[in-house]
A and B are shown apart, each in its own frame.
Chain A
Amino acid sequence: MAKRGSPAPVARRTSLDGLLASKEIVVACGPGGVGKTTTAAAAAAMAAARLGGKVLVLTVDPARRLADALGLEGIGNTERRVPDATFVEAGVKPMGELWAAMLDTKESWDSLIRLHAPDARTREEILSNPLYRNISGRFVQSHDYIAMERLFEIHSDGNYDLIVVDTPPTRNALDFLDAPERMAEFFSSRLLRWLIVPYRSRLVNLASKPFYQIADRILGTQFLEDVAQFFILFQSMYDGFVERARAVHRLMADRRTSFIVVSTLEAVPLREAEFFAQALADRRLHLGAIVLNKVLPDYLRDPQGAALAVKLRDRADELAEALAPEVRSGDASQVRRVLAEVGRSYLDYRVVAQREAEQQAELATVPEALVSVPYFETDVYDLAGLLRLGAQLWGP
């Protein structure tokens, strides 16, 4: 079902089981709206069911019904075990344990501050600073960083054999890959020092003068002082933060970590996915697989099917007349409409199926595995659904 139409790559795998059995961290990334969360959850559920061990899915923004199914409603950062009974209901006896946790950005930032703050007073001052609250709640890149940071924390505890992570939707696919690096850069930046020094000493450093002239006029002195105050507080956590950010980065690049890029075969997401795969390669991060969701079935590209659909559409009148005596639930005109519509619909979907097959064949980046998952006729919203989807990710 995978590799159809593709130029038969050498030994390219078409499933995720090998990857899930050998890595400690699998990060699902890619464009929004392609089923990233569901794919991550399905992979984790399947790994727990078939491989055994303790498997955690760390998810960002699951659909409500899926969150319910995993018992994630309103639990924030706490890791919860999906009860075996839920598996039994889904008709599976799991080999291992499935755990699930959601990412709460605000809570994760707060615990990071608690970890790094040198003393209780600084800690409280930071937590109550309006700028901090703004940053931890709204600042987009903070979301990306905290996802990786939280992953690092869980991994360091050594409680799980496999952690499958779903990444937050980013403005730019690269944001979260670069987040640890940027966080480290941010704190070691010379500009940060420029920003802090003058308000500390009340002596305007010559080098920073033009900057202040502009900044003062745009933002106002009061605001700049607030900013400076905030960074002075943050400065006290500098070493801890930078060291941590570097460790997070090392973990991403570790051989035990692999990335899967999830996409559909629609033009825009696929282009973004390819861009993403390239970005991973540029950063020497391991691209374990590309997972293509919502792939239309092969029979839509069957040439005989097309010929037949044309017949149904163009000869609906005579076919309906011949068939009508056999049909009990409708008259000849209804039969004609149904035949014509069936033919037309096939030809419509065929255009899309052909375009998508071509796109798949043209996929420039050849990862170790290319997995395609068929269009599911209904939404995935429970463990049974996840396992059904998971079975498509798995080898034969």
Chain B
Amino acid sequence: MPPVSAAHPPMVGLLDRRLLFVTGKGGVGKTTVAAGLALYAAEHGRRTLVCEVDAKGDVADYFETGPTNFTAREVFPSLWAMSMDTEASLREYLKLSLRVPVVGRIGPLAKAFDFVATAAPGVREILTVGKFCYEVREHHYDLVVVDASATGHIVGQLAAPQAINDLVKVGLIRSQTDWILDILSDAQITGLVIVTTPEEMPVNETIELAGRVATETSVELAAVIVNRVLPELFGRSEEKVFNELCRSPVSAELEKLVGDDPTPVLDAARLAVTLRRTRAEHLERLRHGIDPAVPMMYLPFLFTRLHGLRTLRQVARSLGEELAH
């Protein structure tokens, strides 16, 4: 695993922040990493909330628990899970700040809300981001980990308070955006984590997103986490030995010694070496494309069965090792 360069100016430690948005291209393991970070923090005594924004129920699966909803539920000691529901968020917001009795009018309100949210982009986003900032402001948890939208939508989400500021001149929402922006732009509190894999498109999107986050939002990029890093089988000189093993006369000798054709096993090793090499090139590109001040962490590819708490514990352990660097 590549060492983390030591020459960085000091940055706020990832888990010393209080609000982490975890994003990544679809399929890179964004939810796994978000849940892993939350588990690690909870195991280290921090009261942690993990929230899924695009509810697919994956977080619940990781903790081997039933579906989550807008009301946070303790799924593990010190760890609460919830899923975002913008309509519920609106209702909570109205209850807290307007004291509007909405209970009796949920039906029409839901419809109207859907409509306004559709008409005014940013309303949905601000109800999402606002909820997390509220939890942070009220100190309900030590850490809020958001399994946020994928790379394509995260900038819109994080930039929504600013966009609303530009579009909505007066009204309650407008007055709310100021304190939300304060929390988002405070690097001591808030950070964005981009999860990627060492493959072409995820690396491209990560580099592009890092640039957009810097120019279009006030949120600091707190870390890039590279998931599914394949193990290196051998170094350069050992690879020569391997090449010889694959050819006669050594391959014939090996076959004699083990009493069976070793081709499938050698082919598999060849595949593993090639995959690792292709990915190493993308990793190199990623390192060049990201500001060296941003910590980069590496999580190994897990050769395991289906995901669940068992997988999650391994992810949390690997994250812990990387955070200790």
Contacts and interface: CB of A to CB of B under 8 A. Distances in A.
Interface in A309-352: 309, 311-312, 319, 322-323, 326-330, 334-335, 337-339, 341-343, 345-346, 348-349, 351-352
Interface in B265-295: 265-269, 271-272, 274-275, 278
B171 A308 contact: no
Interface stretch (B14-22, B116-124, B135-143, B314-322): B116-124
A159 to B, nearest CB: 30
A223 B262 contact: no
B105 interface: yes
Contact of B149 (A171, A222, A230, A346): A171
Given A171-B54, A308-B258, A379-B200, A220 B168 contact: yes
Interface in A375-392: 375, 377-379, 381
Interface residues of B, number: 81
Nearest to A210: B105
B274 A378 contact: yes
A316 to B, nearest CB: 11
Contacts of B233: 341-342, 345
Interface stretch (A3-11, A113-121, A266-274): A266-274
Nearest to B305: A355
B315 to A, nearest CB: 14
Interface string B187-230: 00000000000011110100000000000000000000000000
Nearest to A355: B305
A117 B108 CA distance: 31
Nearest to B274: A377
A31 interface: yes
Interface in B220-269: 231, 233-234, 237-238, 240-245, 249-250, 253-254, 257-258, 260-269
Interface residues of A, number: 84
A343 B234 CA distance: 13
Contact of B153 (A140, A227, A297): A140
Given A140-B156, A214-B98, A214-B109, 4 more contacts: A33-B202, A131-B119, A135-B121, A222-B169
A172 interface: yes
B2 to A, nearest CB: 19
28 contacts: A134-B121, A135-B121, A171-B149, A171-B153, A186-B118, A191-B112, A211-B109, A216-B171, A217-B98, A217-B171, A218-B171, A219-B123, A220-B173, A220-B174, A227-B120, A299-B268, A308-B264, A308-B265, A330-B241, A335-B241, A338-B242, A341-B233, A341-B234, A345-B233, A346-B265, A351-B305, A379-B200, A381-B200
B306 interface: yes
Interface of A: 31-34, 63-65, 130-131, 134-135, 138-141, 169, 171-172, 186, 189, 191-192, 195, 210-211, 214-223, 226-227, 230-231, 264, 266-269, 272, 297, 299-300, 302, 304-305, 307-309, 311-312, 319, 322-323, 326-330, 334-335, 337-339, 341-343, 345-346, 348-349, 351-352, 355, 375, 377-379, 381
Given A218-B173, A223-B169, A377 B271 contact: yes
Contacts of B152: 169
A21 B175 CA distance: 59
Nearest to B171: A220
Contact of B258 (A130, A135, A231, A311): A311
Interface-centre pick from A33, A186, A355, A379 (highest chain B CB count, 10 A): A33
B244 A327 contact: yes
A263 B204 CA distance: 21
A121 B54 CA distance: 40
Interface stretch (B24-32, B39-47, B63-71): B24-32
A394 B151 CA distance: 33
B233 to A, nearest CB: 5
Interface-centre pick from A218, A329, A341 (highest chain B CB count, 10 A): A218
Given A131-B119, A139-B121, A231-B119, A330 B26 contact: no
Contacts of B123: 219
Contact of A214 (B100, B243, B268, B307): B100
A181 to B, nearest CB: 14
Shortest Cβ-Cβ A-B pairs, 3 listed: A32-B26, A33-B27, A220-B171
B268 A346 contact: yes
Contacts of B27: 31-34, 264, 266, 268-269
Contacts of B245: 323, 327, 335, 338-339, 342
A279 to B, nearest CB: 14
A342 B201 CA distance: 29
B168 A305 contact: no
A157 B240 CA distance: 58
A191 B111 contact: yes
A329 B241 contact: yes
B172 interface: yes
A227 B199 CA distance: 43
A298 B102 CA distance: 59
A130 B167 contact: yes
A378 B273 CA distance: 12
Contact of B257 (A141, A216, A218, A322): A322
